[in-house]
Amino acid sequence: MRALIDLQKKLFPDLLDVMQRRYKILHYIHLMEPIGRRSLADNIEMAERLVRSEIDFLNSHGFLDITSKGMLLTPEGTNVLAQLREFIKEVSGFSVLEQSVKDKLHVDHVVVVPGNSDELDWVKQEMGKAAVDFLRSILHANQTIAVTGGTSMAAVAEMMTPLERAENCMFVPARGGLGERVENQANTICAEMAKKANGEYRLLYVPDPLSEESYQSIIGEPSVKEILHLIKQADVVIHGIGDAWTMAQRRKASGKILQRISDGNAVSEAFGYYFNQTGDVIHKVRTVGLQLEDLDNSQCVVAVAGGKSKAQAIISYFKQGKSNVLVTDEGAAKELIRD
């Protein structure tokens, strides 16, 4: 395919530009449908006049429908989008970018989606969709999937669809709640994923973080022991990566802990652990749920994190070598390989 693309770039450069533009339009409509023309133009940063012309073409060829609520892809449009995906990835150089990130982080698999989620909200949804597509490719019946909280995981839940090959899968929260917005808590995300995937779910009703005394008391409860066994033996774990300082503030950490995080130059957070630039643990929050050592029991650990601002946090976390898959965006990926 690479040789064919290089030839097309030489002989038909304008054709490739048109294909990429039309793919971008179809792709965004697919993510946000139904959507109006003006909103589409604003979000993909394309002149409305050009968008109007392309919409007329795509509509006349049966790739999309224009309704009073907005534009939607037809089955033919969805089919074309799927067939073009790998080709466009090669044309745009994303395959090379994915390989570069893979080499940099020493992981088994990397998926990079277009855009920078720091600047465009829809990019996080695209990461969510890419994560769902990856899960669909690896999951099979009767597996257990542990899920953390956070905005990236909420995007995965939003984009989740039925997992046809993964019958009777069980979704569990990787840890207790942070006391944050309900839609970003692991329990909420776990339940939504399970319902959309046609799977089962179990919830973990414990606060996070905990004092040592409370922790020892809670983990002795039979109902908590049962769910903890499921969590710690999860076949697949899917999680986000947080900025250390942001996560400490969300947890309402004490001044003493904030000072420890600052003095230790903590960069990233995942599973209640705070890591510095070399991947050393600076601080650990006492939580009920997955511990770092439990990840060794899982067949696949998928991190979903993007945005240029998250690049250093991603590098920091992957120094631990506990996750073997990364789903990220173009903004983070280009920053990751800059050094």
- pLDDT tens for residues 134-189? 999 999 999 999 999 999 999 999 999 998 888 889 999 998 765 556 667 899 99
Dihedral sign, CA of 55, 58, 59, 65?
A: negative
Give residue 183's pLDDT: 63
Q: What confidence score (pLDDT) does residue 182 get?
A: 63
Rounded to an integer, what is the distance from CA 320 to the centroid of its chain? 19
Whether residue 81 is predicted with pLDDT greater than 80 in this model: the reply is yes
> Average model confidence (pLDDT) for the chain?
87
Check residues 339 and 75 and name the one with the higher pLDDT: 75
Which residue type does 199 have? G
**Cα 336 to Cα 105, 112, 131, distances in angstroms:** 9, 12, 19
Amino acid in the structure at residue 170: M
Beta partners for 145? 171, 236
Asked whether the whole model's pTM tops 0.85, one would answer no
**Does residue 210 carry a pLDDT above 80?**
no
Q: Where do the domains of the chain lie, and which CATH numbers do they carry?
A: 1-90 (1.10.10.10), 93-337 (3.40.50.1360)
Q: Which of 88-97, 113-122, 180-189 has the highest mean pLDDT?
A: 113-122
For the segment 273-289, what is each residue's pLDDT rounded down to a tens digit? Answer: 999 999 999 999 877 88
Confidence of residue 48 (pLDDT cuts 50, 70, 90): confident
Distances (CA, A) of 198 to 130, 132, 161, 193, 195: 19, 13, 8, 8, 5
Distance CA 310, CA 330 (A): 12
Cβ atoms of 157 and 238 closer than 8 Å: no
**3-class SS letters over the chain:** CHHHHHHHHHHCHHHHHHHHHHHHHHHHHHHHCCECHHHHHHHCCCCHHHHHHHHHHHHHCCCEEEECCEEEECHHHHHHHHHHHHHHHHHCCHHHHHHHHHHHHCCCEEEEECCCCCCCHHHHHHHHHHHHHHHHHHCCCCCEEEECCCHHHHHHHHHCCCCCCCCCCEEEECECECCCCHHHCHHHHHHHHHHHHCCEECCCCCECCCCHHHHHHHCCCHHHHHHHHHHHCCCEEEECCEEHHHHHHHCCCCHHHHHHHHHCCCCEEECCEEECCCCCEEEECCCCECCHHHHHHCCEEEEECCCHHHHHHHHHHHCCCCCCEEEEEHHHHHHHCCC
CA distances from 217 to 89, 221, 227, 303 (A): 51, 7, 15, 31
